[in-house]
Homo-oligomer: A and B are copies of this chain.
Amino acid sequence: MAKRKVGQQTIKLESAPYIISSYSIVGPKEGSGPLLKYFDSIVQDDYFGEESWEKAESKMMIEAIKYSIKNSNLGIENIDFLLAGDLLNQLISSNFAARALQIPFFGLYGACSTMAESLSLGSVLIDGGYADKVVCSTSSHFSSAERQYRSPLEQGGQRPLYSQWTVTGAGATVLSDIGEGPRITYITTGKVMDFGIKDANNMGAAMAPAAADTIIAHLNDTGRQATYYDLIITGDLAKVGMDITIELVKTKGYNIESVYNDCGSIIFDNKKQDTHSGGSGCGCSAVVLNGYLLKEMKKRTFNKILFVGTGALLSPISSFQGESIPCIAHAVSIENDLRV
């Protein structure tokens, strides 16, 4: 087995790269939800001064990346690589952000798991000595996603109560070989799971098996119990998917219930904000991580987090062609006070 692998799907990062900086920017709906005080910037107009939602989304990613770098007291020229992705076809938010920033760029796609995917590959680049500093970023936008994946907003279609609401926002994380901050200790890379769900509104149920599979793989590979973590947080299964994940993980002998939460379940007040089952989109786990979670880690509310990005890898075309929804989850272990 490869010397830095632990078990079948997990990599141990011996040097435990530091998260030295992060930044989150959200739209008005997210900025009036329960996590509002954690976001670094709240945009009041979801066009963000641009002519289209797609351009607004890209601008949000650019802002998140720029300010995450600025907050780390580095310049853009100090960043070795940018790893980024988003939900838009051909990753246009990320591509145009990479054009604006001129950082050597790896484009990634893992749907809503992309934040965890970018942290996974970014921390490997640092840990292996291939980079000193990388930025990881993802974004999503309710209005650009809705018209791409579902139907024109002007149509005013009804959405089922188990559907999720795509978050408008972007998050960015700066990883470093040296410095201060929480550290990335393990990554667990997911396999694609598909239990046959075909309803593209029911993402939570579709993604739960992937989330459960990766959580189980992580615990098996590292020999840790679920309660080693102060928090195991998926992003984004919302209410429906959370319950299924707890049950699926239980079948393999692990009980995560007491430490488990989900980014999509905490970003909105679902009843007051009419967001049905909860939040979703690359931007959801990105802003919950870079807003809420990392700030609470700094305050030591949480010292050990397993951040599990979950993505539904369908496209409208695959659904039209009768396919079920393939899903993936990637886990990233983030820890304070590491004894190396």
Contact = CB atoms under 8 A, between A and B. Distances in A.
Contacts of A106: 108, 110, 117, 120-121, 189
Interface string A114-129: 0001001100111111
Interface residues of A, number: 65
A41 interface: no
Interface string A121-139: 1001111111110000000
A42 interface: no
A326 B109 CA distance: 18
A205 B331 CA distance: 40
A99 B95 CA distance: 26
Contact of A105 (B4, B92, B103, B192): B192
A96 B189 contact: no
A189 B104 contact: yes
Interface stretch (A154-162, A246-254, A299-307, A314-322): A314-322
A2 interface: yes
Contact of A108 (B108, B194, B314): B108
Given A99-B194, A326-B99, A313 B107 contact: yes
Nearest to A124: B130
B191 A104 contact: yes
| Of listed A9, A51, A99, residue having the most chain B CB within 10 A | A99
A248 B317 CA distance: 39
| Of listed A117, A191, A314, residue having the most chain B CB within 10 A | A191
B91 A313 contact: yes
A191 B92 CA distance: 15
A289 interface: no
B5 A328 contact: no
A257 to B, nearest CB: 26
Nearest to A133: B2
Given A104-B190, A131-B5, A55 B109 contact: no
Given A4-B130, A106-B108, 4 more contacts: A8-B104, A95-B326, A98-B326, A102-B191
17 contacts: A2-B80, A5-B130, A9-B104, A52-B321, A54-B318, A89-B315, A90-B111, A95-B192, A95-B313, A103-B191, A104-B189, A106-B108, A106-B117, A106-B189, A107-B313, A109-B109, A148-B317
